[in-house]
Amino acid sequence: MSRSAATSGEILRLIREDEVQTRADLARLTGLSRPVIGQRVTELIDAGLVVELPGVSSGGRPAARLEFNGAGGRVLVASLGHTHGHLAVCDLSGTILRQEPVRIGAGIESAIEGWQRMGPGAVRGVGIALPGPAHEDERVVKAVREVFPVPVHIDNDVNVMALGEHRVRNDVSDLLFVKASTGIGAGVISGGRLQRGAYGGAGEIGHIPVSDGLLCGCGTVGCVETVAGGAALLAQLGGRAKDLPELAALARAGDLEAVAVLREAGRRIGEVVAAAVNILNPAVVVLGGDLSGKNLIAGVRESVYQRAAAMATRRLRIEPSVLGDDAGLLGCATMILDHILAPAAVDAAL
């Protein structure tokens, strides 16, 4: 690393991500002098981002140990759907400290009021997941910053859930997250990084056509969402379930019609997932959302292993989400922390 690149923000990255623990090691890795390292570290300690702890003696005077200070602030996160969602306050390590459900009747104001009730303390950033294409909603950002004047970042709910699931799978660099709910969408992690595409449209697998698809709300004909999305499945049950949680509950109780509907939906979703697997070659496909029970997952597995190339499926795992509703919250925390703790952002804030 060049000396000019070893800013305070880069020093924080070495401590936070690479777990460099001593000033001597920082000096060796960066080429900076001990006094300059001392100045950089003091800046980070004063900003509440690093703590200095007593070292462990192995004979002689122990070197002080540096650690990232996860307790040095809070981030606010919200994973919001069309009608309801979840809010949380997290520390700077991304650990959820407090959370609660929220109804979206009053728009983003409902989330703001919920965060205020939680008494978040020193807020450093806000991360929000919204349904639909990835975008920075100016109205939402403005409303949040009027109350919490900190960086605010927004992304597609499926992208954020992919980040959350990837965070708990440290052994995986390539992951495809598929959400099966009212709509069908995917989040793509490739090489350890979320892929949004050139214009934020990566992962729109719900609008890939299948043979007997119908007219879709997007304006085209044949989208898989029209035969395997939530509205289509409720219609197939003829009013026996009023919403998706009730449909899922019927299937869990062993209702044969609900089981068959979800299994067939899984097969249809599996058709487009198989194509994505051939293109992306992920190590794992994770299924989440209201419909992602064992019956839908079984249908997805059936189609993917039948249709995708043997090379792509030889070691492929197809698994349910391990985080459930927390996937969106942890993904939002990962998203905003990656922004506010990036070296350039830290340098700008100091």
What pLDDT does 35 receive?
Answer: 92
Give the model confidence (pLDDT) of 252-309 as tens digits.
Answer: 999 999 999 999 999 999 999 999 999 999 999 999 999 999 999 999 999 999 999 9
- The C-alpha atoms of residue 77 and residue 91 are separated, in whole angstroms, by 11
Give the model confidence (pLDDT) of 186-222 as tens digits.
Answer: 999 999 999 999 888 899 999 999 988 898 988 889 9
What pLDDT does 62 receive?
Answer: 66
Chain-wide mean pLDDT for the chain? 92
Tell me: pLDDT of 173 over 60. Answer: yes
- The C-alpha atoms of residue 43 and residue 37 are separated, in whole angstroms, by 10
Separation of first and last alpha carbons in the chain? 21
The residue among 76, 84, 127, 78 whose CA lies nearest residue 104 is 84
Average pLDDT rounded to a whole number, residues 2-10 = 77
- The C-alpha atoms of residue 127 and residue 141 are separated, in whole angstroms, by 10
- The C-alpha atoms of residue 205 and residue 271 are separated, in whole angstroms, by 10
Give the model confidence (pLDDT) of 107-123 as tens digits.
Answer: 788 899 999 999 888 99
| pTM for this model (two decimals) | 0.89
Q: Are 130 and 185 in contact (CB under 8 A)?
A: no
Give the model confidence (pLDDT) of 223-232 as tens digits.
Answer: 999 999 999 9
- The C-alpha atoms of residue 111 and residue 132 are separated, in whole angstroms, by 18
Band of residue 238 on the pLDDT scale cut at 50, 70, 90: very high
Tell me: pLDDT of 134 over 70. Answer: no
**What domains can be seen in the chain, in order of their start residue?**
3-69 (1.10.10.10), 74-160+328-343 (3.30.420.40), 170-321 (3.30.420.40)
- The C-alpha atoms of residue 332 and residue 34 are separated, in whole angstroms, by 37
- The C-alpha atoms of residue 282 and residue 175 are separated, in whole angstroms, by 5
Burial bucket for residue 159 (CB in 10 Å: 0-12, 13-18, 19+): buried
- The C-alpha atoms of residue 215 and residue 204 are separated, in whole angstroms, by 16
- The C-alpha atoms of residue 168 and residue 63 are separated, in whole angstroms, by 32
Burial bucket for residue 137 (CB in 10 Å: 0-12, 13-18, 19+): middle
- The C-alpha atoms of residue 110 and residue 143 are separated, in whole angstroms, by 11
Give the model confidence (pLDDT) of 309-324 as tens digits.
Answer: 999 999 999 999 999 8
Amino acid of residue 79: S
